[in-house]
Amino acid sequence: AQSVSQHNHHVILSEAASLELGCNYSYGGTVNLFWYVQYPGQHLQLLLKYFSGDPLVKGIKGFEAEFIKSKFSFNLRKPSVQWSDTAEYFCAVNALNTGFQKLVFGTGTRLLVSP
Protein backbone atom coordinates (compact mmCIF):
# COMPACT_ATOMS: atom_id res chain seq x y z
CA ALA A 1 0.00 0.00 0.00
CA GLN A 2 1.23 3.45 -0.79
CA SER A 3 2.27 5.76 2.03
CA VAL A 4 3.35 9.38 2.25
CA SER A 5 5.86 10.80 4.72
CA GLN A 6 6.26 14.38 5.78
CA HIS A 7 9.19 14.58 8.12
CA ASN A 8 8.72 18.18 9.26
CA HIS A 9 5.72 18.17 11.60
CA HIS A 10 6.11 21.74 12.84
CA VAL A 11 8.06 24.54 11.18
CA ILE A 12 8.48 28.04 12.54
CA LEU A 13 9.88 30.75 10.28
CA SER A 14 10.18 34.48 10.24
CA GLU A 15 8.68 36.48 7.41
CA ALA A 16 10.88 36.59 4.29
CA ALA A 17 12.62 33.33 5.21
CA SER A 18 12.77 30.58 2.62
CA LEU A 19 10.66 27.47 3.02
CA GLU A 20 11.20 23.88 2.03
CA LEU A 21 8.86 21.12 3.21
CA GLY A 22 9.78 17.53 2.55
CA CYS A 23 7.50 14.87 1.12
CA ASN A 24 8.41 11.28 0.29
CA TYR A 25 6.14 8.53 -0.96
CA SER A 26 6.53 4.79 -1.06
CA TYR A 27 4.90 3.64 -4.29
CA GLY A 28 7.20 2.74 -7.19
CA GLY A 29 4.74 2.96 -10.06
CA THR A 30 3.07 5.88 -11.80
CA VAL A 31 1.81 8.49 -9.37
CA ASN A 32 0.12 11.86 -9.28
CA LEU A 33 1.39 14.22 -6.60
CA PHE A 34 -0.30 17.10 -4.84
CA TRP A 35 0.25 19.71 -2.18
CA TYR A 36 -2.82 20.95 -0.35
CA VAL A 37 -2.99 23.76 2.20
CA GLN A 38 -5.46 24.21 5.04
CA TYR A 39 -5.53 27.75 6.42
CA PRO A 40 -6.95 28.16 9.92
CA GLY A 41 -10.72 27.70 9.80
CA GLN A 42 -10.76 27.11 6.06
CA HIS A 43 -11.15 24.11 3.82
CA LEU A 44 -8.39 22.24 2.02
CA GLN A 45 -7.16 24.06 -1.07
CA LEU A 46 -4.93 22.79 -3.83
CA LEU A 47 -1.55 24.54 -3.99
CA LEU A 48 -0.11 22.62 -6.90
CA LYS A 49 -0.10 19.27 -8.64
CA TYR A 50 2.16 17.08 -10.72
CA PHE A 51 0.79 14.58 -13.24
CA SER A 52 3.54 14.39 -15.86
CA GLY A 53 6.02 16.52 -17.81
CA ASP A 54 8.27 19.17 -16.29
CA PRO A 55 9.17 17.95 -12.79
CA LEU A 56 9.31 21.52 -11.50
CA VAL A 57 5.76 22.69 -11.01
CA LYS A 58 4.56 26.11 -10.00
CA GLY A 59 1.44 26.67 -7.98
CA ILE A 60 -0.51 29.47 -6.46
CA LYS A 61 0.83 32.11 -4.06
CA GLY A 62 4.44 31.71 -5.19
CA PHE A 63 4.80 28.06 -4.21
CA GLU A 64 6.63 25.51 -6.30
CA ALA A 65 7.52 21.85 -5.96
CA GLU A 66 10.01 19.54 -7.57
CA PHE A 67 9.32 15.90 -8.38
CA ILE A 68 12.47 13.78 -8.10
CA LYS A 69 11.46 10.31 -9.22
CA SER A 70 14.70 8.64 -8.15
CA LYS A 71 14.21 9.91 -4.61
CA PHE A 72 10.43 9.36 -4.49
CA SER A 73 10.20 12.97 -3.36
CA PHE A 74 8.01 15.97 -4.04
CA ASN A 75 9.29 18.80 -1.87
CA LEU A 76 7.46 22.11 -1.56
CA ARG A 77 9.36 25.39 -1.72
CA LYS A 78 8.75 29.10 -1.42
CA PRO A 79 11.60 31.62 -1.58
CA SER A 80 10.08 34.12 0.84
CA VAL A 81 7.22 33.30 3.21
CA GLN A 82 4.62 35.71 4.48
CA TRP A 83 2.65 35.76 7.72
CA SER A 84 -0.41 34.76 5.68
CA ASP A 85 1.30 31.46 4.79
CA THR A 86 0.66 30.23 8.33
CA ALA A 87 -1.30 27.04 7.73
CA GLU A 88 -1.10 23.27 7.63
CA TYR A 89 0.39 21.77 4.49
CA PHE A 90 -0.42 18.28 3.26
CA CYS A 91 1.38 16.30 0.61
CA ALA A 92 -0.86 13.75 -1.13
CA VAL A 93 -0.37 10.99 -3.66
CA ASN A 94 -2.58 8.80 -5.77
CA ALA A 95 -1.35 5.95 -7.87
CA LEU A 96 -2.12 4.13 -11.10
CA ASN A 97 -2.70 0.85 -9.28
CA THR A 98 -5.90 2.27 -7.74
CA GLY A 99 -6.94 4.03 -10.93
CA PHE A 100 -5.78 7.25 -9.26
CA GLN A 101 -8.92 7.11 -7.14
CA LYS A 102 -7.36 6.69 -3.71
CA LEU A 103 -5.71 9.90 -2.52
CA VAL A 104 -3.36 9.25 0.39
CA PHE A 105 -2.27 12.18 2.52
CA GLY A 106 0.89 12.69 4.51
CA THR A 107 0.65 13.56 8.19
CA GLY A 108 0.91 17.26 7.48
CA THR A 109 3.28 20.07 8.41
CA ARG A 110 2.12 22.96 10.55
CA LEU A 111 3.85 26.15 9.44
CA LEU A 112 3.89 29.18 11.67
CA VAL A 113 5.27 32.38 10.17
CA SER A 114 6.03 35.09 12.67
CA PRO A 115 5.78 38.70 11.51
Partner 1 sequence: DTEVTQTPKHLVMGMTNKKSLKCEQHMGHRAMYWYKQKAKKPPELMFVYSYEKLSINESVPSRFSPECPNSSLLNLHLHALQPEDSALYLCASSQGSGSYEQYFGPGTRLTVT
Contacts with partner 1, residue ranges (CB under 8 A): 32, 34, 36, 42-46, 49, 51, 90, 98-108
Shortest CB 46 distance to partner 1, Å: 5
Give dist(CA 67, CA 100) in Å, integer: 17
5: helix, strand or coil: strand
Shortest CB 80 distance to partner 1, Å: 26
Shortest CB 102 distance to partner 1, Å: 6
Which residue, 17 or 22, has its beta carbon nearer to partner 1? 22
Contact present, 25 and 72 (Cβ < 8 Å): yes
Residue 99 burial (CB count, 10 A)? 8
Which residue, 101 or 115, has its beta carbon nearer to partner 1? 101
- Please give the angle made by the CA atoms of 52, 53 and 58, to the nearest 5 degrees: 90
Which residue, 52 or 70, has its beta carbon nearer to partner 1? 52
